[in-house]
């Protein structure tokens, strides 16, 4: 899927912006309002802004420094920390990619539910059937060899950006500062512990909306001029950040936190409806449906591509390297979408399915992100390049903080997703006749994965972890 066309600065920025905005932007205000008042939300954005820009620069720097490691970000973990980390990073990225698609499924059905009441809420039997139809439609397209063509990206980028811009431009005039500052730190006033826990609650939301940054900056390598690469990354990330901050701040100036948190999904549609009337919700829902279908297609491609590339790289079992006559990674695609289909059923049992699924997708991607940041620190000593070293450190701190902020439940659930990977890891080694013995620390790490997964399992059964 490598394209060679050279791009100018504006096209690059559009590419960076387009590859991050998917579903998150449309429901973010409600998702943040679930746990945070305006003050904590702003602090959350400052932390995210610094962390994500650092992380984006890490990905960019690594893609320039290590152009041969182009099979996905797991290759940084593999190169830097050995095969088990490499495998786990690939596994986690893949799991995150398809879990995210389940989040897409429920949100898109909820949006369609605005027009067709049978799907209302996106979490009933009708929605699961509807989502399954969409799933296998995307599957079919990819099997036929469709891949994210430039023109699909252009159309979806335009269709998602226009409603968002209109929302911002119009809602500004209805922004009520008193509403925004009402209970700014929470109903009990300011307290460190309260604000800290509110800030933490926003971290998986703000991470989710930036997922895709790893691919976006790599694509900016297609710049016409070298100096545009860095510029496009920073301008693209700052523009997306600005758009996100505006969406959430403006929403909190139109409705109180309680009102926002209680809105159906997608929040933005209902906020805009409150501002301009019915057409607002219609516009936003249509924008969302197009945006998500585009993102769903792209992430299906990523999710299927990764095991396929990893198999060619001897990181995943051979079976996954199979292509069909259209050069689509068939086995990998069937496996991935098969799992999505199975997990779609959980939408019936979870309370806030969209929120739960994207939070899980965000925490699953933390390991590949974290290992990439660590790799940069390992690769570039302070005396060699102060700037890149410091960027690596900031990105590392951000990802470690995210694990902490996500909280114990998500750590445990994530381990429940990672632990089964160990079996595949072992199987892969046999598959290729790799005789290397795992190092002591790798075995210890596997032990920790398994123990935490067991705790998670018990937690779910006994209802201590609920979702």
Ligand X SMILES: NC(=[NH2+])NCCC[C@H](N)C(=O)O
Shortest reach from residue 466's CB to ligand X, in Å = 23
Residues 242-301 that bind ligand X (CB under 6 A): 295, 299
CB of 326 to ligand X, least distance (A): 22
Closest separation in Å from C-beta 446 to ligand X: 25
**In the set 18, 100, 307, 421, which binds ligand X (CB under 6 A)?**
100
d(CA 454, CA 442): 18
- Are 203 and 366 within 8 A, CB to CB? no
Query: Which listed residue (57, 97, 138, 229) binds ligand X by CB under 6 A?
Result: 97
- Scanning 49-57, 96-104, 196-204, 277-285 for contacts with ligand X by CB under 6 A, the matching segment is 96-104
Q: For residues 128 and 345, is the Cβ–Cβ distance under 8 A?
A: yes
Q: How far is the CB of 140 from ligand X (least distance, A)?
A: 18
93 binds ligand X (CB under 6 A): no
Handedness of CA 403, 407, 409, 410 (dihedral sign): negative
Task: Name residues contacting ligand X, limited to 381-440 (CB under 6 A).
Answer: none
The HSE-up count of residue 74 (CA atoms within 13 Å, CB side) is: 27
Token pair for 118? 């049978």
CA distance 50 to 198: 18
Per the listing, tokens 């609920």 go with: 466
Q: Show the tokens assigned to 195.
A: 């604000």
C-alpha–C-alpha distance, residues 181 and 174, integer Å: 15
Query: Footprint of ligand X on residues 182-201 (CB under 6 A)?
Result: none
The stretch among 17-25, 32-40, 146-154, 413-421 that binds ligand X (CB under 6 A) is 17-25
Nearest approach, Cβ of residue 361 and ligand X (Å) = 5
24 part of the interface to ligand X, by CB under 6 A: yes
DSSP 26-45: HHHHHHHHTT--HHHHHHHH
Note whether 331 binds ligand X by CB under 6 A: no
**Pairwise CA distance, residues 353 & 357, whole Å:** 6
CB of 96 to ligand X, least distance (A): 6
**Position among 36, 360, 361, 377 found at the interface with ligand X (CB under 6 A):** 361
Beta partners for residue 7, in sequence order: 223
Size of the site for ligand X (CB under 6 A): 16
Residue from 11, 211, 293, 391 that binds ligand X (CB under 6 A)? Answer: 211
d(CA 421, CA 444) in angstroms, rounded, equals 15
Regarding 101 and contact with ligand X (CB under 6 A), the answer is yes
- Binding piece for ligand X, criterion CB under 6 A, among 32-40, 41-49, 204-212, 255-263: 204-212
* Min CB(306)–ligand X separation in Å: 11
CA end-to-end distance (rounded Å), the chain: 38
User: How many residues are there in the chain?
Assistant: 467
Instruction: Answer for the pair 20, 233: CB distance below 8 angstroms, yes or no.
Output: no
Write out the residues near ligand X by the rule CB under 6 A.
20, 22-24, 96-97, 100-101, 104, 208-209, 211-212, 295, 299, 361
């Amino acid at each position: 899927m490598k394209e060679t066309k050279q791009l100018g600065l504006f096209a690059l920025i559009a590419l960076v912006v387009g590859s991050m905005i998917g579903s998150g932007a449309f429901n973010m205000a409600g998702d943040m309002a679930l746990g945070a008042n305006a003050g904590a939300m702003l602090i959350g954005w400052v932390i995210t802004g610094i962390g994500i820009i650092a992380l984006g620069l890490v990905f960019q720097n690594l893609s320039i420094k290590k152009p041969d490691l182009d099979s996905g970000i797991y290759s940084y973990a593999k190169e830097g920390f050995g095969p088990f980390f490499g495998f786990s990073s690939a596994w986690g990225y893949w799991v995150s990619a398809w879990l995210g698609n389940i989040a897409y499924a429920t949100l898109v059905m909820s949006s369609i539910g605005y027009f067709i009441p049978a799907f209302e809420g996106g979490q009933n039997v009708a929605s699961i059937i509807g989502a399954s139809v969409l799933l296998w439609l995307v599957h079919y397209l990819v099997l036929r060899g469709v891949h994210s063509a430039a023109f699909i990206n252009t159309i979806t980028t335009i269709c998602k950006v226009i409603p968002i811009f209109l929302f911002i431009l119009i809602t500004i005039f209805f922004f009520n500062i008193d509403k925004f500052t009402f209970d700014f730190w929470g109903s009990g006033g300011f307290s460190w512990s309260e604000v800290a826990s509110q800030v933490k609650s926003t971290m998986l939301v703000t991470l989710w909306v930036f997922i895709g940054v790893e691919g976006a900056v790599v694509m900016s390598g297609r710049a016409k001029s070298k100096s545009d690469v860095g510029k496009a990354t920073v301008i693209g990330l700052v523009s997306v950040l600005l758009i996100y901050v505006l969406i959430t701040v403006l929403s909190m100036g139109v409705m109180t936190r309680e009102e926002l948190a209680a809105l159906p999904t997608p929040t933005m549609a209902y906020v805009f409806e409150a501002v301009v009337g019915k057409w607002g919700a219609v516009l936003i829902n249509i924008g969302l449906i197009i945006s998500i279908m585009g993102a769903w297609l792209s992430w299906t491609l990523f999710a299927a591509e990764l095991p396929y590339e990893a198999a060619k790289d001897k990181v995943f079992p051979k079976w996954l390297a199979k292509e069909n006559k259209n050069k689509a990674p068939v086995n990998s695609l069937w496996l991935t979408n098969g799992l999505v289909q199975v997990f779609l059923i959980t939408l019936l049992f979870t309370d806030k399915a969209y929120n739960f699924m994207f939070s899980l997708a965000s925490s699953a991607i933390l390991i590949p992100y974290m290992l990439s940041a660590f790799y940069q620190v390992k690769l570039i000593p302070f005396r060699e390049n102060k700037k890149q070293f410091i960027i690596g450190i900031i990105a590392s701190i951000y990802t470690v903080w995210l694990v902490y902020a996500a909280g114990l439940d998500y750590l445990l659930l994530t381990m429940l997703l990672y632990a089964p990977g160990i079996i595949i890891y072992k199987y892969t080694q046999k598959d290729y006749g790799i005789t290397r013995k795992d190092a002591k620390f790798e075995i210890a790490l596997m032990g920790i994965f398994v123990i935490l997964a067991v705790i998670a399992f018990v937690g779910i059964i006994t209802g201590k972890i609920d979702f």
